[in-house]
A and B are shown apart, each in its own frame.
Chain A
């Protein structure tokens, strides 16, 4: 491969979302730059929609809903990184979502309790003594630190144990789902420390701001939406970077990466940890917007719902997971209003249809269409997902 080709390849490979194929069709620098920086335009448009248009056009209720979808979108974007780009189907992101959510909720509960006070549920269900590990969450900065640090540590431990042993594919997926179930069960079992089945609720302030003030609510929404935009940019850069290439390569050909001298476990571990942090931040934003966190936001079905959005939107694309999560959340709210039982059928059907017909999600429609319309062969891209033309590596250990 000449130097020119190899430097062309990365640019051509990083097409995202609806930007279409640049590929070999045109070598003009404008088209190249468009394909490279095009996603930024998309992000800018989305930023405008979310941060400028929505707060001025939607009612507070709908805005709150959109904020919730944004929080879920953060978690889904992490899944897009880990699964779409990294090939690790994580069915248990509810765990990290819950870690961030409970951390934030603990802080907000302690805010309500006041200095030196004890959250109300501990007096109701327990004997009024607070476990010592609650105490640090009185401090806002520590809480923010914990929202990032705790999932990092937990995902490192879990990921290291599992990935280093080369557990992959479906084993990994099942383990992560079992993890979510176990964590939810743990929360339910510790009613005196975590509120149990009821979870943590009844907050009044968010870092000192009154939660019932619509201005504050709008600003919290802006924070959530802003975080989505920020992480979109981060992911965009990540996908273009060398690490992004490595990750995709590990997804597609792990053994070859190993032979090239990299440790695929480390590469995947980094993605797993980043996905964990993103889920945690999503959870942390979920709490002030929704006003409650309970084990039902953590368990297997909540985790699967996060994956649904990613599958719908297109797991390996940049915008797919975020938009898919928003679409799924919105669908759930509106469809369940009119057709409560039909919503479950729709969700189930979504999984089946996406896997059978459209593994790349909605995001893969546009490139597919273009490639059918255009006569030029489309180069394979990182947003392609394995549609089963070649057999997967068997999930059994080598």
Chain B
């Protein structure tokens, strides 16, 4: 009996697999205009006209009244913690834009995909979104690994990706718009702040992956210029939460400040170990780049007085921010707003502005029109820099108060132009260790 029951399930399953596999042959030719040059200029094939195929002038690369966008975030796996809010704010932005008439008169329809916190899945899903679903643009990504995995795909498919997360810079692509901060908009201003506070010794604590390592490389070089001494540098793997040993080293070194580039749940372990060792904002303050309004209350420790370097805080005082917070909380309840999800929200509006300036959904036209496109974002005015596809953002340093909100204690005088390769900084030597 059991066998038959299982058979009844298994056979249809296999049969349906065979059916689907055979049905999947709609657009199936593999020929293309060949160009064997090392340059990656191939588009993938399709028999229907893709939304972003170049055509005669007057073609806006879109048929119909609907523009399809892809939202690619991890809603499962370890990164879902952070990426779910990005997804939520993207949906909010899309609904707002639709209510206001859409992009260039076209209503947005979004396709949601789950990156499963794995770079290979991100690559696969963005490939699907760009080549099968033929969306006009994709919004998402989180870890640098996911972005690096998506980069060749989006360049090969000549699509558009809007990446909303602060990251380590040293990258620029024609097909990616980076709406998160690069290092000269977040790390370097933080160092300037520390210098202005008279900090002389600094301890670096980070998770063991590319963003903290690169950030610390920059910090060390800049610290030498500022006259700040680095008294320690410790890394703990992303999936390890135990910082007790390293915090003991911090307690022993007693730096003026700790620069925290830890990410994920490891941050919780760090803060708790910090607290256990008797360190706090009074005797050993921390400035971090990944503790925001959502993470702060989840630490289980009073973080009042600690610092963070971002480009947006919920406490930013502007009418745009007030509207944004109201809309977000009206839709999702009493949840805090924070930098990456605001950057994602901003990226959607920037795309809208780019399209409307270019009067086209074609990727080439958008790229030509992108430079100088701006948007009055909740964080302040942001402007796209067409040279590197990043945006000029204002840097903010906030101090946590008793409500787990940030009091802004330092800000750059206006938006900082993005410099992902740190070309404008002559102390930067990329080849040094």
- Report A-B touching, CB under 8 Å: yes
Which single residue of chain B is at the shortest CB-CB distance from A216? B36
How far apart sit A297 and B153, CA to CA, in the bound complex (Å)?
18
Contact of A59 among B37, B132, B148, B433 (CB under 8 A): B132
Does B123 lie within 8 Å of A213, measured CB to CB?
no
Does B124 lie within 8 Å of A65, measured CB to CB?
yes
List residues of chain B with CB within 8 A of the CB of A127: 431-433
List residues of chain A with CB within 8 A of the CB of B27: 59
Q: Is the interface of A mostly helix, strand, loop or mixed?
A: helix
Q: Per-residue CB proximity of B13-55 to A under 8 Å, as 1/0?
A: 0100100111011111011101111101110111000000000
**Total contacts A to B, CB within 8 angstroms?**
181
Within 8 A of A (CB), among B159-174: 170
Stretch in B205-213, B242-250, B353-361 touching the partner:
B205-213
Does A201 lie within 8 Å of B149, measured CB to CB?
yes
Q: Per-residue CB proximity of B204-247 to A under 8 Å, as 1/0?
A: 00001110011001000000000000000000011000000000
Contact of A203 with B by CB under 8 A = yes
Does B17 lie within 8 Å of A210, measured CB to CB?
no
Which single residue of chain A is at the shortest CB-CB distance from B22? A57
Contact of A196 with B by CB under 8 A = yes
Does B45 lie within 8 Å of A214, measured CB to CB?
yes
Does B433 lie within 8 Å of A126, measured CB to CB?
yes
B interface bracket (residues with beta carbon within 8 Å of A): 35 or more
Contact of A337 with B by CB under 8 A = yes
Which single residue of chain A is at the shortest CB-CB distance from B430? A123
Q: Decide: A198 near B123, CB < 8 A? Known: A58-B25, A60-B45.
A: no
Within 8 A of B (CB), among A34-70: 55-65, 68
List residues of chain A with CB within 8 A of the CB of B170: 124
Contact of A341 with B by CB under 8 A = yes
Closest chain B CB from A288 CB (angstroms): 11
Within 8 A of A (CB), among B58-77: 75-76
Contact of A167 with B by CB under 8 A = no
Contact of B402 with A by CB under 8 A = no
Which single residue of chain B is at the shortest CB-CB distance from A205? B38
Does A215 lie within 8 Å of B430, measured CB to CB?
no
Within 8 A of A (CB), among B93-129: 113-114, 116, 118-121, 123-124, 127-128
Contact of A198 among B35, B114, B144 (CB under 8 A): B144
Does A196 lie within 8 Å of B208, measured CB to CB?
yes
Does B40 lie within 8 Å of A212, measured CB to CB?
yes
Which single residue of chain A is at the shortest CB-CB distance from B10? A362
Does B28 lie within 8 Å of A57, measured CB to CB?
yes
A interface bracket (residues with beta carbon within 8 Å of B): 35 or more
Does A212 lie within 8 Å of B209, measured CB to CB?
no
List residues of chain B with CB within 8 A of the CB of A55: 30
Closest chain A CB from B372 CB (angstroms): 29
How far apart sit A210 and B37, CA to CA, in the bound complex (Å)?
7
Q: Per-residue CB proximity of A201-236 to B under 8 Å, as 1/0?
A: 111110001111111001000000000000000000
How far apart sit A233 and B46, CA to CA, in the bound complex (Å)?
35
Contact of A290 with B by CB under 8 A = yes
How far apart sit A188 and B235, CA to CA, in the bound complex (Å)?
12
How far apart sit A365 and B7, CA to CA, in the bound complex (Å)?
7
Q: Decide: A357 near B2, CB < 8 A? Known: A57-B22, A203-B152, A369-B7.
A: yes
Within 8 A of B (CB), among A336-390: 336-337, 340-341, 343-344, 357-358, 362, 365, 368-369, 372
Taking beta carbons and an 8 Å cutoff, which residues of B are in contact with A? 2-4, 6-7, 10, 14, 17, 20-22, 24-28, 30-32, 34-38, 40-42, 44-46, 75-76, 113-114, 116, 118-121, 123-124, 127-128, 131-132, 143-145, 148-149, 151-153, 156, 170, 208-210, 213-214, 217, 237-238, 430-433
Contacts A292-B119, A294-B119, A365-B10 known; list 17 others, CB within 8 Å: A57-B25, A59-B45, A59-B46, A128-B430, A188-B208, A188-B237, A188-B238, A197-B144, A197-B208, A198-B209, A210-B35, A215-B32, A218-B30, A291-B152, A297-B120, A327-B14, A337-B128
Could you list 19 examples of A-B contacts with CB < 8 Å?
A61-B128, A124-B430, A125-B210, A196-B208, A197-B143, A198-B119, A203-B152, A210-B35, A210-B37, A210-B38, A213-B32, A213-B42, A214-B32, A290-B120, A292-B120, A294-B145, A336-B116, A369-B4, A372-B3
Taking beta carbons and an 8 Å cutoff, which residues of A are in contact with B? 55-65, 68, 123-128, 185, 188-189, 191, 196-199, 201-205, 209-215, 218, 290-292, 294, 296-297, 327, 330, 333-334, 336-337, 340-341, 343-344, 357-358, 362, 365, 368-369, 372
